[in-house]
Amino acid sequence: MNGHFDLYVGIDYSGAETPESRLGGLQVYAARPGGRPEPVRPRPQGRWSRREVAQWLLATTHGGPRLLVGIDHGFSFPEEYFRRYRLDSWPAFLADFCRYWPTDQPGCAVEHVRRGTWWSSTPRPPGERTGATTALRLCERWTSSTKSVFRFDFQGSVAKSTHAGIPWLRYLREEGGDRIFFWPFDGWRPPEAKSVLAEVYPSIFRHRYPRDGRTPDEHDAYAVARWLEETDRNGMLDRYLDPPLTSPERRTAALEGWILGIA
């Protein structure tokens, strides 16, 4: 893929509270080509909700700059989950997941679904959608410190943010149409005209850059945006968009996803 993006966006996600809650842990930074990332905050509130972040991404990709967006939550689940629930594609996974974890619905928190209280006034689908806390995706087995998307309730867990964020990927996929490319589910080589959304893992990047007074959440979003911009500007992005996977591994990643920055 040749050419640069117009805007590089790092999002440090949060699965706390509800989709409407304004969260200090939900941070967005963006960088123009050749520039340093700057915070992006909604006015006048100054704090994002998950719904607002999704709406901002949708609006920004509509007739505007071409974005490269890194979001730090899991975009999918291990292949064994697909087999267990007879899901044959990522779009099928998204639709099925949102039935069981409707965490984009007004007032719905991850903990409401986990505890079963959400279903007290809403029809509950049959069965459940869970996974073992030891289950890892292939991309997670390629790293030394990532954790299972099913492992809740510990420091550094991505499970809650993943279960809160996946429905918003479906929203962006449905509402964004052809202008948003979900890497690598839509392929490994993004076309020139589309914005790209990818999963990232800020721990890979955060220690490369000084904190300069930023909070940990702010710095993670900053580090992602800065790494994306620098990697593209230095001509190294293609390497990370096309990791050295075998054909079977690529088929697995087409279901499980991949973490941009692992190659």
**Average per-residue pLDDT for the chain:** 95
- Taking the C-alpha atoms of residue 163 and residue 13, their distance in angstroms, rounded to an integer, is 11
Helix (H) or strand (E) holding 30: strand 27-31
Domain residue spans of the chain = 7-78+133-256
Q: Given a cut of 90, is residue 3 above it in pLDDT?
A: no
For 171-188, write each residue's pLDDT tens digit: 999 999 899 999 999 999
Number of Cβ atoms within 10 Å of the Cβ of 59: 10
Residue 70, strand partner residues: 10, 198
Mean pLDDT of 69-76: 98
Q: What percent of the chain stands above pLDDT 70?
A: 98
Would you state the pLDDT for residue 180?
97
Q: Give the amino acid at 19.
A: P
Q: Given a cut of 50, is residue 2 above it in pLDDT?
A: no
For 41-66, write each residue's pLDDT tens digit: 998 888 999 999 999 999 999 978 99
pLDDT band for position 118 (cuts 50, 70, 90) = very high
Would you state the pLDDT for residue 196?
98
- Taking the C-alpha atoms of residue 51 and residue 165, their distance in angstroms, rounded to an integer, is 10
pLDDT band for position 230 (cuts 50, 70, 90) = very high
Sign of the four-CA dihedral 178, 179, 180, 181: positive
Cα three-residue angle 176-263-223, rounded to 5 degrees = 65
Q: What percent of the chain stands above pLDDT 90?
A: 90
Q: Given a cut of 50, is residue 85 above it in pLDDT?
A: yes
Would you state the pLDDT for residue 90?
98
Q: Given a cut of 70, is residue 199 above it in pLDDT?
A: yes
For 88-110, write each residue's pLDDT tens digit: 999 999 999 999 999 999 999 99
Would you state the pLDDT for residue 1?
45
Number of Cβ atoms within 10 Å of the Cβ of 231: 20
